[in-house]
Structure 1
């Protein structure tokens, strides 16, 4: 095996491992129905913030180096990509389920390049992929309501709207974050993750203290599980996942790294079906297959467009 193949294998393994941890946020709200989305989000960023504090000197140095405009943008980035996004995501999962949430957030490999500046049309294959994704999502959301079967379950339209807002927020975060880092090349991506962790914790802390009675939270049934899940979210789904994704991005070209984001959706779905202790219904299998086909078509079109752009 050549060194290139070995490095590529390391990158792909890291990318898939990232999905293992990124799938956790779709499961945790289902494990903690008695805890609010704010409480779950705070637990996540409390642990993420604690880990990031070990790098506080770098964090302070980076923040001091930023202009006032970039500091304000940093607050928006931490909200749209981390603490507020997480609150809304957890609430959306509470209102729907991890399956619907996984597929809606799984549109990120399409929405990010779609709204990236300077994007060229990916041709008919890209738009066919978008249409396939839309049909898959509509099937997932509409079939239980239209079919006169026992599989009908309450799906909150407000929850679906919240998840769509999450999709929009993280799409904006991804595009704006790339622009922010290009404008500040002195910031290392690994260090920036610590900056975001600290800023997110500082941002959500006053909201948490305002809305939550801490003594009641500590004595609530299931608090030990809450701590375990918070650690899994803060260390696993945030800090460790970011570290693994940096390895993936370093060893894999964007044409390979991009599609690996789908592993988040796959593990989110897997965790949800395991939690519900069932196999997917036929309409869910159809929706998932349409989703994977749509992503494959759209991402392939983007890859070809990217390769063409590099050769021109």
Structure 2
């Protein structure tokens, strides 16, 4: 189990980077960022799986195609567009911490799965986690009001972050269940197939978007808007390799080695790393309520891992 925990932590460190990219690429739309990132992901996945591409594609069944399609949309394209909108309109901290509700959402949704710890044993860790999330949300809206920020933008950003939360909650459960039902695919193989399917869908979406909006994203209009295409592809290449290829592979390993209720808790590492990167990027220290939230979130996850470890020791081999 502890190997899965470490892989989940490292995946969170990789995924936390995605919350900074919309700040760096503020001149680009969320659709452009999503398409760029996942085209790069698809190209890297294609290169990695090229030597065994024929064998892998030959093993795919119809159910695998449907799984890859729904995971590519919910877990990648739609999720990331919602996340990017959230960061642009509400900021890094509120978006990352609304998505930080994932541990509670996934734990509740996966409560009937095999190996799940009874919720009564997780009640206190979940309450501690909820208290941390409450602290950060109070801080976010209080700070937005004090700074005179547009409440409409904040509300729309919160709604987008909530949409990302719903996408990822569903994807996390469906992906974990699918991997456990299909052990004939290794974590690396499924991650590569996932990347290739996402890249293909992104090419189609990007082609349609370019045909409709190309006048707004290229040429003199694009240059005047401050678009730096070199930075765009560097950022998306880093995200594709780090967050998508490496991060997803680590998460697939974690998904197979820990119960679903614990995998929900491990997602919180993404939130903590996103906060850390955000504080470093903005060169500011966390405020008191942010510190309280971070401490409570770490305590809740640690407590939950301890409960799962005890349950595993008591379970028959």
- 1:84 matched residue in structure 2: 78
Distance 1:136 1:17, change over 3 A: closer
Q: Distance in 1 between matches of 2:140 and 2:9?
A: 31
Question: Is 2:175 the partner of 1:177?
Answer: yes
Q: Distance in 1 between matches of 2:39 and 2:144?
A: 45
Distance 1:98 1:195, change over 3 A: same
Q: Distance in 2 between matches of 1:149 and 1:91?
A: 20
Distance 1:183 1:62, change over 3 A: farther
- 2:194 matched residue in structure 1: 196
Q: Which of 149, 156, 162 is the matching residue for 1:164?
A: 162
Q: What TM-score results when the alignment is normalised by the length of structure 2?
A: 0.80
- 1:301 matched residue in structure 2: 307
Are the aligned partners of 1:109 and 1:299 in contact in 2 as well (CA < 8 Å)? Answer: no
Q: Which deviations, in whole Å up to 9, do the C-alpha atoms of 1:86-133 show, x marking residues without a partner?
A: 121112221222212222333434433432224342325x22333333
- 2:92 matched residue in structure 1: 98
Question: Is 2:279 the partner of 1:273?
Answer: yes
Are the aligned partners of 1:59 and 1:194 in contact in 2 as well (CA < 8 Å)? Answer: no
Q: Which of 138, 142, 148 is the matching residue for 1:142?
A: 138
- 1:223 matched residue in structure 2: 229
Are the aligned partners of 1:122 and 1:305 in contact in 2 as well (CA < 8 Å)? Answer: no
Distance 1:41 1:139, change over 3 A: same
Q: CA deviation at 1:27?
A: 0.6
Q: Distance in 2 between matches of 1:276 and 1:76?
A: 35
Distance 1:33 1:225, change over 3 A: same
Question: Is 2:16 the partner of 1:23?
Answer: yes
Q: Which of 53, 60, 74 is the matching residue for 1:66?
A: 60
Q: CA deviation at 1:57?
A: 6.1
Query: Any unmatched runs of 5+ in structure 2?
Result: none
Q: Distance in 2 between matches of 1:278 and 1:40?
A: 26
Distance 1:144 1:107, change over 3 A: closer
Q: Distance in 1 between matches of 2:244 and 2:167?
A: 17
Are the aligned partners of 2:125 and 2:300 in contact in 1 as well (CA < 8 Å)? Answer: yes
Higher mean alpha-carbon deviation, 275-284 vs 218-227, is at 218-227
Q: Which deviations, in whole Å up to 9, do the C-alpha atoms of 1:19-46 show, x marking residues without a partner?
A: 3321110110111111111111111111
Higher mean alpha-carbon deviation, 265-274 vs 217-226, is at 217-226
Q: Distance in 2 between matches of 1:14 and 1:120?
A: 20
Q: Distance in 2 between matches of 1:287 and 1:152?
A: 23
Please give the secondary structure, in 1, of the residue aligned with 2:119: coil
Q: CA deviation at 1:198?
A: 1.1
Q: Which deviations, in whole Å up to 9, do the C-alpha atoms of 1:179-228 show, x marking residues without a partner?
A: 22233332222011111111111112222222244573475432221111
- 1:311 matched residue in structure 2: 316
Q: What TM-score results when the alignment is normalised by the length of structure 1?
A: 0.81
* RMSD of equivalent CA atoms: 3.2
Are the aligned partners of 1:145 and 1:152 in contact in 2 as well (CA < 8 Å)? Answer: no
Higher mean alpha-carbon deviation, 94-103 vs 218-227, is at 218-227
Are the aligned partners of 1:44 and 1:234 in contact in 2 as well (CA < 8 Å)? Answer: yes
Q: CA deviation at 1:268?
A: 0.8
Higher mean alpha-carbon deviation, 259-268 vs 190-199, is at 259-268
- 2:119 matched residue in structure 1: 122
Distance 1:60 1:164, change over 3 A: farther
Please give the secondary structure, in 1, of the residue aligned with 2:20: helix
